[in-house]
Amino acid sequence: MTPYMAVALTSLVAYFIAVKRLGWRPSDLGGALGRMAESLGAGVIFAVVNVLAAGGLVLGLRMLTDRFFSLYSLDDLGWLAVSMLQGWAWALWRDSKTAQLR
Amino acid sequence: MPSSMIVRALGLATLALFFLAAFTPLPAFLYERITIPVHIERADAIVVLAGGGVLASGQLSDSSLRRTVRGIALYRDGLAPLLVLSGGAGRRSEGAARAVLAVKCGVPDTAILASSAGHTTHEEVAALQPLLKARGVRRLLLVTDGTHMRRARGLVRDAGFEVLAAPVSEVEMPAQPEPRLRLLRATLREGLALVYYHIAGYL
pLDDT digits (tens, 9 = 90+) for B1-57: 557 889 999 999 999 999 999 999 999 999 989 989 899 999 999 999 998 888 888
Q: How high is the pLDDT of residue B170?
A: 60
Q: How high is the pLDDT of residue B89?
A: 66
**Å between A38 CA and nearest CA of chain B:** 4
With an 8 Å Cβ cutoff, are A38 and B6 in contact? no
Percent of chain B with pLDDT over 90: 72
Q: Inform me whether the pLDDT recorded for B100 exceeds 90.
A: yes
A65-98 burial: b if 16+ Cβ within 10 Å, else e:
eeeeeebeebeeeebeeebbebbbebbeebeeee
Q: Inform me whether the pLDDT recorded for A102 exceeds 80.
A: no
**Å between A41 CA and nearest CA of chain B:** 4
Cβ B79 vs Cβ B43: under 8 Å: yes
Nearest in space to B59 (alpha carbons), one of B19, B94, B29:
B94
Residues on chain A bordering chain B, Cβ-to-Cβ distance under 8 angstroms: 1, 4, 34, 36-45, 68, 70-71, 75, 94
Cβ A51 vs Cβ A79: under 8 Å: yes
Sequence ranges of the domains in chain B: 45-165
The stretches of B78-176 forming alpha helices (DSSP H) are 94-104, 121-134, 149-158
With an 8 Å Cβ cutoff, are B4 and A38 in contact? yes
Q: How far is it between the farthest Cα atoms of chain B?
A: 70
**Å between A42 CA and nearest CA of chain B:** 6
With an 8 Å Cβ cutoff, are A42 and B7 in contact? yes
Q: How high is the pLDDT of residue B2?
A: 57
Q: How high is the pLDDT of residue B1?
A: 53
**Alpha-carbon distances, residue B111 vs B40, B142, B180 (angstroms):** 19, 16, 39
Partner residue opposite B7 with nearest CB, options A41, A68, A71: A41
Query: Which residue of chain A is at minimal alpha-carbon distance from B181?
Result: A77
Q: How far is it between the farthest Cα atoms of chain A?
A: 65
Exposure of B58 by Cβ count < 10 A (0-12 exposed, 13-18 middle, 19+ buried)? exposed
CA A45 to chain centroid: 10
Q: How high is the pLDDT of residue B82?
A: 97
Exposure of B51 by Cβ count < 10 A (0-12 exposed, 13-18 middle, 19+ buried)? buried
Note the pLDDT tens digit of each residue in B152-170.
999 999 999 999 999 997 6
The correct answer on CATH 3.40.50.620 for the domain covering B45-165 is: yes
With an 8 Å Cβ cutoff, are A41 and B119 in contact? no
Q: What does the pLDDT average to over B94-107?
A: 93
Cβ B125 vs Cβ B159: under 8 Å: yes
**Å between A28 CA and nearest CA of chain B:** 17
Note the pLDDT tens digit of each residue in A33-90.
999 999 999 999 999 999 999 999 999 998 899 888 888 888 888 999 999 999 999 9
Q: How high is the pLDDT of residue A71?
A: 85
Average model confidence (pLDDT) for chain B? 91
Q: Which amino acid, one-letter code, is at A8?
A: A
Cβ B117 vs Cβ B124: under 8 Å: yes
A18 secondary structure, DSSP code: I
